[in-house]
Every structure is written in structure tokens, then in C-alpha cells.
Structure 1
Amino acid sequence: MKRLIGLLYLCLLWFPFVSYPLPGDCDGGKDCEKKHDFFYKIENKIKTVFNDYGFRGDFLIAVVDECGVNGYAVINRNIIEGRYTDLNIDSPFYIASHTKAFTGALMCMLDEEGTLDLNKFIADYLLELNFGGGINTADITLKSLLNHTHGIFSVRLTWKTAFLGYSGLNSEILEDINNDFIYDPSHKFRYSNVGTIVAAIIAEKVTGKNWKELMREKIFVPLKMEHTSCNVSDYNADLIRPSVIVSRNNEIISSGFYKKDITMHASGGIISTTKDLSLWLAANIRQDEILMNKKSWILLHSPSALQNRKYFTYDRFGYGLGWDIAEYNGDTILTRFGGYAGISCHISFIPKKKIGIIAFSTDNRAFLLPHLMANYVYNLMSERDAESIIENELAFFREAFLKQNNLSYPSDSLLLQANNRNDAITGIYQTDSWPSIEIKKSGNYYNFIWGVLKGKIYLKDDSSFTTNTGVIIRDFKIKNDTLFTGSLIFIKNMKK
């Protein structure tokens, strides 16, 4: 393994456009040539795929061992076209659902210190969550909340916490779940955001500190993750890597970062940097007791639920308390990915080889690129025929790319033009238990504002409209001061 890790320390003269070394032991001999060759292959493969598919946005990949980042590579159009880029391992980006691995670790830490017991039940901690008597919460353990076997699903909770925003009060979240839920009594593995969010509410109740405070105190500070936060407001918004939505004509439809503090939650609510995430991933690789003991790490990383799902090239057979456990080319690999509005985050490691990958992309059509390139690096390190393997994997990659590339987006030619007749639709529309929708005039067009999301309004057909908020495309109709979208009905507030 030492020899394989040695390949990752790179000579500076070989990184003219995308790859960057961290300090290593390159002495100009044969070892240095191997290091050159290793990242030169990665650099060229990234450039080839990026150009072949006309990707926009950013891409970054880093290799991590027990000590942190060994080397990394970046690419975007600025780099390809010879312009300056500020993309590097200190660039903040949203890790989306990899947040679940952090929350799982937090809950294991609280269990270890005796603050709560993961084998106890919701009813032991959260009587306010009662589902109107429709579910027996004495049958649902805290562990099952973290491994997706709890069986609880709530559309309202998911939309408000991830997309739209809400008051920020746990009482509102609990009311949403109590009154809007679906329950699967089989307790089979079914992935959702609900369990981790409920677990975080329990953690707040037993500690008196909210999830964001606990993450900082228990994980970010001990690991010296100084540029990691659960609040968007802690960053210069212009520096967070934005998602980029691209049309089939390779035109940028929208670009931006659409999260607010209120939509940063325990299932998807961390912004970090590659350098900081390398400290987190390295701690997982070595099971660092600065956070918790080996028994707790094993609890986090070992299968506590069975699954039989394939994602891209990964045969997932288990789930720990925040990590998917899968097989890839004969290796057991732990992964926890994340995606949001075009951003795709890959974080994985192979425990036996004590090596991991961090990668992310921001072009919506490139959501599999972090996984494709992570595989390429793993295969190079394992001295497999990486070139043949990536050619095979590219077949599935192309299929996924074409599906995204062929998506339709509202055309500017159909933008609803502002005029006296159309002004009649402006106003605030309300319904019970959901954020209000505001139709607001802005210059020569109108905006659809739902909670924290906003998008221009386009004509869909003679009787309906559509909007692209960057996160979701939403169709709606307005008739007699009533707004219909999906199954929801909003009534215009006529008060002046």
C-alpha cells in the first residue's frame, strides 16, 4: 500500500493545467516518473471526458489517505480556455446527502457518551411525535431512523426542509410529520431524509443544543474543519461553487446556489471544502478516536440494514448509520454521495486499502462524472486495466448524460410578458401548512416566489404556466384567484 500511496505524491512540473501536488518525496528518480505517470493519466482522462461531453461548471477530484489529501485535480472551462480559475481545495461546495454520514457519526458519539441510546425508541425521547396514533413509535428505534428502516415518509417535511423553508421551529416539523405521513410497516430499507431529521430533533432535545451547534462542537472543531459550516450565511455567497443547469444546445439555463440557512438540515445541510473533507474522510479511514472509540466507528461503518440496489457501478448490499456499503471490482467500498440542483458530490473509501476519494461536479449533466473518475483512480491504484474498465463504464455514463441532456427547459421566447392584463395574477396565494406563493412583477416579467425559491414565469400552454427555480421546475394554473400546482391548492389573499 505504501508504494501505491507513494504514486500520489506529484512533481510540480507535470501540472500545467489541472493537477496540483501536495508536498511529497519526489527526488527525480523512478519513483518520481511513476508519480508523473499516475496523475498525468488522471489529468488527461478528465480533460478528454470534459471536452467530449462539453461540460460546463466545475469538477474536482482528490485522493485521500489516513493523513489527508495527497493530490488533487480540477477542471472547468476557464482552465480549458487558458483563463484564471479560483477553483481549488479551499473552494467551498455543498455536500448534500453526505451530511447523513456526519449526522450518523454525531448520533454514535452521543450514544457512546450515554446522552442517548440508539437501541431505544422514538417514544422514549419524543412523545410529541405521535402520528395521531397512526404509528406506534415504541416500535421504531433511533438506529432505524439512521439506517432508513423506520418506514416513515413525509412529503411536506421533505419539501419544506430541503427546498422551500419553514419557521425553523421543531414544533412545525413535528406537526408536519404528524399530519402528513406515509408509513411502511415492513421496515425494509427505504431511503429518505425523514429519519435523519427526526434523529437530529431528538439529539437537540436531549442535549439542549441544535443540530448545527452539535456538528460544530462535536465534529468540525475537533477535526479542525475550520471552513466547514451548516449555515450558508457563514460564507461569501459568491465563493460557493454554483450548480449549472445546461441545455441540449450547451447553453447555461441557470447558475446559482439555492440553499439558505433554513434549508440546511441534518440530511443535507453542510458546506465544506476538499481540504476540510479530507480531514473528515481521513478520520473515517483510520477510525480516529479523537471523535469516538473503535466500537462506535464499527457501528457507523457496519451494515445494520440490508439493501440490494445498484447505483452506477456500485452493488450496494448494506447500510450503516450514514454510509452505503457496496462492492466495486472485488473491493468493499463505503460511499455516501449527495446531489442537489445539478451539484454531485462523491465521498468514498476502501477500508482495507485505507484510501478514499472526494470528488464533485456542478454541471447537472455530469452528475455521474465524480463516480466515473473516482473509479478510474481506484482502478489505477489497484493496477487493474483502468482504460478498459472506464470504456465499459462510459456506456452507462453516456446513457445517463443523454437523459439529462435531453431534458426540456422553459424558453425565453415563452416568458410571460408584463402588462396590465397579466398583472391580475400578482399577489400572495396561501394554503394551510405550506409556505405561501407570491407572484411578483419584476420589470417586464413576473417571478414565482415559493418560500425561499424564486423563478421567472413562462407560458406553458393557453391555460397554464411553468417556472424554473433552479432547483425544481414547477407547473401551475391560476383560475378565479385560485392557484393550482400539483395536488396543492392556494387561495389568493385579497387583503390590501
Structure 2
Amino acid sequence: MKKVIILFLILAISISIKAQSTNDSITIELTKLSKNSNLVGFGVAIVNKDGIVYAKGFGYAHKETKKPYTIHTAQPIASISKTLLSVALMKAQEMGKLRLDDNINNYLPFKIYNPNFPNENITIQQLANHTSSILDGDSYDRTYVFENKIPSFYTNFSDKDLKVEVKKWIELFNTNKIMPLGEFIKKQYVKDQTWYNKEQNFSNKHPGNTYKYSNMGANIAAYIIEQTTGENYAEFVKEHILHPLQMNNTGWRGKNYEPKNVSSLYWYGYPMPDADLITYPDGNLISNVIDYGKFLSTMIRGYKGEDNLLTAESYKEMMKDPVSSDFRKGVFWTVDSEKIGHSGNDLGLLSHAYFLRENGIGIIVFVNTSDTENGATEVRDIYRTPLKYAEKQ
């Protein structure tokens, strides 16, 4: 019996040493990438169905004060926010509040239809897999509302075309005003409203036939959750996702949540003032790699057939293979032959969160910088570093 115990201890120690050696190798490689990049700071985590197996921060949360970016540093994660919207939709369906195959106009207080196909229904499922034919028009950019005016940092640019482009965006963002989500939707997609535009806001393809990524489609889905449950969307997510998973430093700024250890965001290398989004369900969720790691680990267990936040059947429906490779999405989740997850990008941030279908290893990368020289390539290299480990498991 003693020999068995000794052998078990030797095996356990060997596994622990190997894991530590792998983690050290990942840290060394990511540290090198951080030092040689234009990215201010980022966090990386690796998870499996049992939890987080690696987490580390690199660079700075605040470049000006040299405050380190750690595993507890929180930042907006852009469109990865839609993965929580997916779970919220499935939860509302389990509660009997809606069905994904339902016509969206069964629940909206105003009618939305594609004027090119006025007699065709748009379903919640089509919103969720981005085939609804609802498009993001120019008015979508009115969603950004900054706490303070964005400085005119574009005056430092030597590229004249870039200077003109960024000036245009900053001038627009600095005039935006906050409004309720429902009003923002109505202004764009209900005929004769202020920002209604047939050409910009609606596809000339039949609903359900063609994939076209749509942030506003996601916001309509979140608004339907509000209409059917009688709860504010942020509160619904908090009740059914954040609290059960103890994601204690995750939420939307100003909606009964004030982030701790929040990072600055750097757009073209310049710090941005804090921002709210009118369309907060499609993005702007603030989290860190530890909190989101809890969520992604839970999703992996659900994909593997475990009931937890949702039933195993709901997970199966939520992460099902698209009907064709042209569609790309299940219920807001990106689903391909190798991985399931989502990515995001916005002013001053880039983010990735995926797990491998074969072995259930997940990778999270949150970056507080965007639109720097070689930034997209640098973020790709950061993601590929833990991916090399994940693919070997």
C-alpha cells in the first residue's frame, strides 16, 4: 500500500512540475511579446472544464503611472459580451418567456420588418445567428457616449488622411447623447423615425438567407429579453449569470456596478475617457480574465453535456453547428470545426475567447490597446502562444 501511495505522489509531483514548466514557458514567451510590442497591457488565461489553469497579466493597465496589468485588471471586452447575451436568451427560453423561432414582432412594442420583404417575419434565431437582414447603419456610431470629451490627439498625426478620419470620428463621438436602448432601436428601424434608412439599415437579402454581422440585431434580442421578462437586461444577466458564477468584478458601468481595478484604454496610443454605450448588450461588458474564465469554464462543461446555468439541451442548441460554413454562428457564438467562442474589438481594445471543441481547453486574451502599428499581428501572436499549449493537450 505504501508503494502505491509513493508512486501516486511521484506521479502527482511529476505532473505538477511539468505544468509549472509549461506555465513558465508561456510566461517567458508572452513577456517577450509584451516588451517588443506597441500594446500597453493585456491579460491571458487558459481554462478547462474544471477552472483556470493559467492566468497572467502583462504590461500596464495605466501607462502614465506604470500601474501593472494583472489578472484582476478589468476592462471592456467588446463583442465577447454577446456570449452572455446568448446564455441570457437560452435562459429566457427555458423560463418559457420566448422561443428562438418566434417572430420578433410578437414581443416588441413597435414593429420592425425589412421594407424590402415586408411580408417576411424576422425571428429571434435570425438575430442570434446574424441572418436577420438587419444591418448596422451609420447611426449605430451614435452609441458611444463618453464621460469627458475625447481630446484632439489627431493633431499629432503625420498621415493627413488618418488625421481627417479620426477627427471626424472624435467630433461625432463628442456630440453623442445617452438615451434608452428601446428608443435607439426605434429611431433606426421603425419607418418615419429620425434615423430610419432603408438602404443602410436593411439588407436586400431575404431574412434567414445570408450572414451579415449585426450589432443592432443583438441589441434587439436583448431588448426582447427585457420585454418578455419585465427585467432590465443588465439585471437579468446579473441574476442568472454573474451572481451564480461569482463573477464579482464583471458588469456594465453605471448599471448598479462600478468596476474595480479598471484599465485605461488606448486608441492610437492615446488614453480614452470612460465610455458608456447606449447599445451596451452588444459590447462594453467590463470583466477580467479570472471572472470571464469562470464563465468560459462553465460553458465548456455545458458543451460537454453538464447541466449548470442551462440545461445540457440548451447548450447543445446554443452552440450547434451553423447550417453552412457561410453562416458562422450558433446562438451568437462563433462555431467552426475546431473552436467555439467569440472575439471583439472597439476603440482602445481587442479581445479573444475561444475553447477547442476536441479537448475543451479555452483561451482568453484581453488587450487594452487598438489601432497601433502591427497591433492586430501582435494580438494574434499573443493568442497563438497559449494555443500551442492547448493543442497539445
TM range (shorter): 0.7 to 0.9
Structure with the bigger percentage of strand: 1
**357, 378, 384: which one pairs with 1:375?**
384
Q: Which has the higher contact order (CA 8 A, sep 6+)?
A: 2
Residue type matched to 1:382 in 2? Answer: E
Secondary structure, in 3 states, of the residue corresponding to 1:69? strand
Deviation at 1:302, TM superposition (A): 1.1
Verify the 8 A CA contact 1:153 1:194 in the aligned structure 2: yes
Length-normalised TM-score, structure 1: 0.62
- 1:279-318 equivalences under 5 Å are 279-287=294-302, 288-308=306-326, 318=328
Distance 1:305 1:213, change over 3 A: farther
Does residue 325 of the first structure (1) align with residue 325 of the second (2)? no
Distance 1:68 1:367, change over 3 A: farther
Does residue 353 of the first structure (1) align with residue 359 of the second (2)? yes
Deviation at 1:129, TM superposition (A): 2.4
Residue type matched to 2:59 in 1? Answer: N
**216, 240, 245: which one pairs with 1:218?**
240
* Cα displacement string for residues 462-484 of structure 1 (whole angstroms, at most 9, x for unaligned residues): xxxxxxxxxxxxxxxxxxxxxxx
1:49, 1:322 → 2: CA distance?
Answer: 31
**146, 163, 178: which one pairs with 1:166?**
178
Length-normalised TM-score, structure 2: 0.77
1:269, 1:196 → 2: CA distance?
Answer: 13
Secondary structure, in 3 states, of the residue corresponding to 1:291? coil
Secondary structure, in 3 states, of the residue corresponding to 1:296? helix
2:10, 2:29 → 1: CA distance?
Answer: 23
Verify the 8 A CA contact 1:189 1:305 in the aligned structure 2: no
**15, 29, 34: which one pairs with 1:45?**
29
Residue type matched to 2:182 in 1? Answer: N
Distance 1:370 1:235, change over 3 A: farther
1:303, 1:127 → 2: CA distance?
Answer: 32
* Residue in structure 2 matched with residue 72 of structure 1 by the alignment: 55
1:271, 1:370 → 2: CA distance?
Answer: 19
Residue type matched to 2:187 in 1? Answer: E
2:261, 2:10 → 1: CA distance?
Answer: 33
* Cα displacement string for residues 359-396 of structure 1 (whole angstroms, at most 9, x for unaligned residues): 11123233454443332222234349xxxxxxxxxxxx
* Residue in structure 2 matched with residue 153 of structure 1 by the alignment: 135
1:37, 1:125 → 2: CA distance?
Answer: 54
**16, 22, 41: which one pairs with 1:58?**
41
Secondary structure, in 3 states, of the residue corresponding to 1:120? coil
- 1:115-264 equivalences under 5 Å are 115-126=97-108, 128-131=110-113, 135-136=117-118, 138-162=120-144, 164-168=176-180, 170-178=182-190, 179-180=196-197, 181-186=201-206, 187-232=209-254, 239-246=261-268, 252=269, 254-260=270-276, 262-263=277-278
- Cα RMSD of the aligned pairs, angstroms, is 3.0
Distance 1:224 1:33, change over 3 A: closer
Distance 1:184 1:373, change over 3 A: same
* Cα displacement string for residues 106-159 of structure 1 (whole angstroms, at most 9, x for unaligned residues): 111111221101111123222612359554375211100111000111425522
Aligned residues: 338
Distance 1:94 1:126, change over 3 A: same
2:96, 2:49 → 1: CA distance?
Answer: 28
Distance 1:42 1:140, change over 3 A: same
Secondary structure, in 3 states, of the residue corresponding to 1:292? coil
Secondary structure, in 3 states, of the residue corresponding to 2:282? coil
Verify the 8 A CA contact 1:94 1:271 in the aligned structure 2: yes
Residue type matched to 1:306 in 2? Answer: S
Does residue 275 of the first structure (1) align with residue 290 of the second (2)? yes
Distance 1:374 1:193, change over 3 A: same
Residue type matched to 2:220 in 1? Answer: V
2:61, 2:297 → 1: CA distance?
Answer: 31
* Residue in structure 2 matched with residue 402 of structure 1 by the alignment: none
2:259, 2:360 → 1: CA distance?
Answer: 35
1:98, 1:336 → 2: CA distance?
Answer: 5
Secondary structure, in 3 states, of the residue corresponding to 2:359? coil
Residue type matched to 2:180 in 1? Answer: G
Residue type matched to 1:151 in 2? Answer: S
Verify the 8 A CA contact 2:47 2:53 in the aligned structure 1: yes
Deviation at 1:84, TM superposition (A): 7.0
Residue type matched to 2:285 in 1? Answer: I
Gaps of 5+ in 1: 1-24, 247-251, 309-316, 385-496
Deviation at 1:56, TM superposition (A): 3.9
1:133, 1:335 → 2: CA distance?
Answer: 33
* Residue in structure 2 matched with residue 344 of structure 1 by the alignment: 350
* Cα displacement string for residues 304-343 of structure 1 (whole angstroms, at most 9, x for unaligned residues): 45344xxxxxxxx73111111134xxxx111201111131
* Residue in structure 2 matched with residue 450 of structure 1 by the alignment: none
* Residue in structure 2 matched with residue 420 of structure 1 by the alignment: none
Structure with the bigger percentage of helix: 2
Deviation at 1:168, TM superposition (A): 1.3
Bigger-Rg structure (1/2): 1
* Cα displacement string for residues 275-319 of structure 1 (whole angstroms, at most 9, x for unaligned residues): 2111110110001523111111011111245344xxxxxxxx731
* Residue in structure 1 matched with residue 90 of structure 2 by the alignment: 108
Verify the 8 A CA contact 1:324 1:336 in the aligned structure 2: yes
Secondary structure, in 3 states, of the residue corresponding to 2:331? coil
Residue type matched to 2:381 in 1? Answer: L
Verify the 8 A CA contact 1:346 1:359 in the aligned structure 2: yes
Gaps of 5+ in 2: 1-8, 146-175, 191-195
Secondary structure, in 3 states, of the residue corresponding to 1:357? strand
* Residue in structure 2 matched with residue 387 of structure 1 by the alignment: none
